[in-house]
Amino acid sequence: MLAFLFHGFCEHGAAFPDISYGFYKVFAQMFGIQAKQVPLRADFSVAVEDYAGLRETVFIANPNAPTGICLTRGEIEKLLRQDPARLVVVDEAYVEFGGESAAGLIGEYDNLVVTRTFSKSHALAGARLGYALANLKLIADLNTLRYSFNPYNVNRLSILLGAAAMRDEAYFAGLRSEVVSSREYITEQLRGMGFTVPESKANFVFAGANPKLGGADYYRKLRENGILVRHFDQPRIEDFVRITVGTREQMEILARTTKTILAGEA
């Protein structure tokens, strides 16, 4: 879906935060689209006002990756109102973990596209299944693009799998609340150990800026202790790591290991 949106809906270029889902830059490059990267604020939140006056199609991961920070629906509305002729793509890959969805705004705003995936909250990344929500005219245009590329780009087994996963609400809700409670637990633990951890609405936390331990060192030490997290060797976030929220037990192991690392014993 995102590739189609970059390919067919960015005649004035694309604008997205300087720190966000890495594929936006890759898609822009691949389709020869001018990409404007708009800096996040110092606290890593999206400065919605900085998009006023931009004609480029806006791509906002909400919650954002790798920070987990989520804009409110009101802030998304501000983006939509800045220019009704400009498309705003709200990428809700992680929204089910506690973010506020913009899907309900589709009837009101013709310039809104919401994209979703089964890869994260439904743990079906191997199914390669995602979808877009928008007004009928936009969806018709997206379908035209899709049919020109490959009319059967989603296979039948994945569609059946996705539909079954969507229907199993109790299973979904149970696992989701486990992720959310493990996320709150590890956020509190890491903050208590001196890490800066923005409030995450995703299934990962972004932790760093600990005066006692740099981001690269933390990544390396965890790895030596059998725990793999993500470190981005990229300006502004090199002192942070992104930690996927696992089970409560895994998060307890992470907290314990981090304590030993900070004590210089691991």
Ligand X SMILES: *Cc1c(COP(=O)(O)O)cnc(C)c1O
Q: List residues binding ligand X (CB under 6 A).
A: 21, 61, 65, 91, 93, 117, 119-120, 125, 130
* Closest separation in Å from C-beta 20 to ligand X: 7
- Residue 88: Cβ-neighbour burial (10 angstroms; 0-12, 13-18, 19+): buried
* Closest separation in Å from C-beta 261 to ligand X: 27
Considering the complex, state which of residue 31 and residue 220 has its C-beta at the smaller distance from ligand X: 31
Residue 28, φ and ψ in degrees, nearest 5: -60, -45
Considering the complex, state which of residue 213 and residue 245 has its C-beta at the smaller distance from ligand X: 245
* Closest separation in Å from C-beta 171 to ligand X: 20
Considering the complex, state which of residue 68 and residue 208 has its C-beta at the smaller distance from ligand X: 68
CB burial readout 197-215, b (16+ within 10 A) else e: bbbbbbbbbbbbebeebbb
Three-class secondary structure of residue 123 per DSSP: coil
* Closest separation in Å from C-beta 8 to ligand X: 17
In the chain, % helix, strand, coil (3-state, to 5) comes to 40, 15, 40
Considering the complex, state which of residue 61 and residue 76 has its C-beta at the smaller distance from ligand X: 61
* Closest separation in Å from C-beta 202 to ligand X: 8
Spell out the alpha helix ranges (H) of the chain. 2-8, 23-30, 73-82, 136-149, 156-167, 169-192, 215-224, 248-262
Considering the complex, state which of residue 93 and residue 133 has its C-beta at the smaller distance from ligand X: 93
Considering the complex, state which of residue 129 and residue 138 has its C-beta at the smaller distance from ligand X: 129
Written as one string, the DSSP assignment of 156-189 is: HHHHHHHHHHHH-HHHHHHHHHHHHHHHHHHHHH
Tokens, residue 88: 């705003």
Q: Which residue has the tokens 């049919």?
A: 147
* Closest separation in Å from C-beta 120 to ligand X: 6
How far does the chain reach from its first CA to its final CA, in angstroms? 44
* Closest separation in Å from C-beta 61 to ligand X: 4
* DSSP 8-state assignment for residue 62: S
Residue 140's identity, in one-letter code, is A
Considering the complex, state which of residue 61 and residue 213 has its C-beta at the smaller distance from ligand X: 61
Spell out the alpha helix ranges (H) of 168-262. 169-192, 215-224, 248-262
